[in-house]
Amino acid sequence: MDFKSLRSYQIAFELAMRIFEISKSFPEEETYSLTDQICRSSRSVCSNIAEAYRKRNYPNHFKSKLSDSDSENAETQSWLHFASECRYISKSEFENLIIKSEEVGKLLNYMINNPGKFGVKVE
């Protein structure tokens, strides 16, 4: 098993790719603020999951990277809220993206609370 087979990674990756696609339609003036930020934070969710998985020999590092991932996920939700309120995405698109993001958050929480199920040596 590697990090790409983790359900949390798969959903987070799908979410990041969907955000990337919709961000292409954001106004040009948002390039260096909303667009960059939302793409960066959504991609960081994935990269932190990958790093956590590779650090599973170190329980505290594993949990720390997953906590970082969860923080980036919350940041992504905040940027999605801005995108919705600025009417760059529809309310239904916003709701669908938030549902995916919340699912990722639940999976991250499960991983943090059950590290032994992911190959972490629990003492």
Q: What percent of the chain has pLDDT over 70?
A: 100
CA distance 70 to 78: 13
CATH for the stretch 3-116: 1.20.1440.60
Give residue limits of the domains in the chain: 3-116
Length of the chain: 123
Question: At CA 47, angle to CA 41 and CA 51, rounded to 5?
Answer: 140
Percent of the chain clearing pLDDT 90 (strictly above): 94
Q: Whole-angstrom Cα distance, residue 89 to residue 81?
A: 9
| H or E stretch at 117 | none
Which of 83, 89, 46 lies closest to 68, judged by CA?
46
Q: What is the pTM of this model?
A: 0.94
Digit-coded pLDDT (tens) for 63-118: 999 999 999 999 999 999 999 999 999 999 999 999 999 999 999 999 999 999 99
